Structure 1
């Protein structure tokens, strides 16, 4: 049960942005920029960006964000969707690029203690083809998702247990991105981020 009065039946951050649209607008704009636009010199795909968000959320044990962003990543990977679950289970053995593995290592360090992101980790990512934009965006996605995760968990928002709910969220995030819910449209708001 949420710690504050939130719209009934609306999961995760969606309920929080409906509660405070003035702050929610900025949080959604940040998510849209990080997970869809990215730095001009970044080579990360939208699917990889969503996977980094899901990976950090898994490390933080934030089920809502991990499941919703994993679903978005699966949707965006399309016929390669199985690699999302393989990566979340074990990034080292997952069939992802060496560059993405190196970037997930950086994201893991940001999540645990950002001060441990070392020159060696960055050099290893560069050696695998990571650009400055890739490194920048990985760090900012990881740092931002630590904030999003704590926001969602700190207010004990609703976390669906039905995988189908996340599949619908993933499709919506994969197609329309991150947009504030329309006032009075709770039905569509309950199945999207």
Structure 2
């Protein structure tokens, strides 16, 4: 049970979905930001951007967000779940591009502290072909997921079941983050 009464069935709206339904006026700008960062047009694929979210969520040990965004990444990457699991297990040996590895290192630095992002990390990413937009958005995705992870875990929300992740993955891949389910009680 969440630490506060969300006024809905948490099994139907686990994790952040219940929190966003509880406070729709704050949910809208947050969903809009996520939609731009993770689903909008970009030089990084949606799967790569979801992988950044999953990676940061894994470092933060946020099970709900790591599970969700791992599923979203896997559904949008040709290599699917095996690649996501390899990245989460060992970034250095995962079979990803050197550019994505450099961007994930930046995301990992953000997860620790924004001040851990160094000029060297940025130069390394640029040397691997990362653009300023890709570096910017990697930092913002990582920061946004530190917020989301703390939001979900800070209010003690429950994990979803397999059906939740399957349904949500389908919706995210097809419609992005602005399409949402609304509780019937609200």
Settle same-fold status: TM greater than 0.5. yes
The alpha carbon displacement at 1:176 in A equals 1.3
The alpha carbon displacement at 1:152 in A equals 0.6
User: Which residue does the alignment assign to 1:82?
Assistant: 82
User: Which residue does the alignment assign to 2:37?
Assistant: 34
> Distance in 2 between the 1:52 and 1:157 partners?
22
Task: Give the TM-score taking structure 2 as reference length.
Answer: 0.91
After the TM superposition, which residues 58-69 of structure 1 pair with which residues of structure 2 at under 5 Å, given as runs?
58-69=58-69
* Cα distance per residue 1:42-71 (max 9 Å; x no partner): 521100000000000000000000000000
The reply to whether residue 22 of structure 1 matches residue 25 of structure 2 is yes
User: Which residue does the alignment assign to 2:2?
Assistant: 2
RMSD, matched Cα: 1.6
> Distance in 2 between the 1:90 and 1:165 partners?
27
The alpha carbon displacement at 1:184 in A equals 3.9
> Distance in 2 between the 1:129 and 1:148 partners?
29
User: Which residue does the alignment assign to 1:191?
Assistant: none
> Distance in 1 between the 2:122 and 2:162 partners?
36
> Distance in 2 between the 1:182 and 1:164 partners?
14
> Distance in 2 between the 1:103 and 1:116 partners?
13
User: Are the counterparts in 1 of residues 35 and 177 from structure 2 also a CA contact under 8 Å?
Assistant: yes
The alpha carbon displacement at 1:157 in A equals 0.9
User: Are the counterparts in 2 of residues 106 and 139 from structure 1 also a CA contact under 8 Å?
Assistant: yes
CA gap of 1:163–1:78, structure 2 versus 1, over 3 A, is: farther
- Please say which of residues 149-158 and 163-172 is displaced more in the overlay: 163-172
> Distance in 2 between the 1:84 and 1:145 partners?
17
Secondary structure of the structure 1 residue equivalent to 2:156 = coil
User: Are the counterparts in 2 of residues 73 and 174 from structure 1 also a CA contact under 8 Å?
Assistant: no
* Unpaired runs of at least 5, structure 2: none
User: Are the counterparts in 2 of residues 103 and 135 from structure 1 also a CA contact under 8 Å?
Assistant: yes
- Please say which of residues 7-16 and 126-135 is displaced more in the overlay: 7-16
* Unpaired runs of at least 5, structure 1: 187-193
User: Are the counterparts in 1 of residues 70 and 81 from structure 2 also a CA contact under 8 Å?
Assistant: no
- Please say which of residues 119-128 and 177-186 is displaced more in the overlay: 177-186
> Distance in 2 between the 1:75 and 1:182 partners?
20
- Please say which of residues 163-172 and 113-122 is displaced more in the overlay: 163-172
> Distance in 2 between the 1:139 and 1:104 partners?
9
The alpha carbon displacement at 1:171 in A equals 2.3
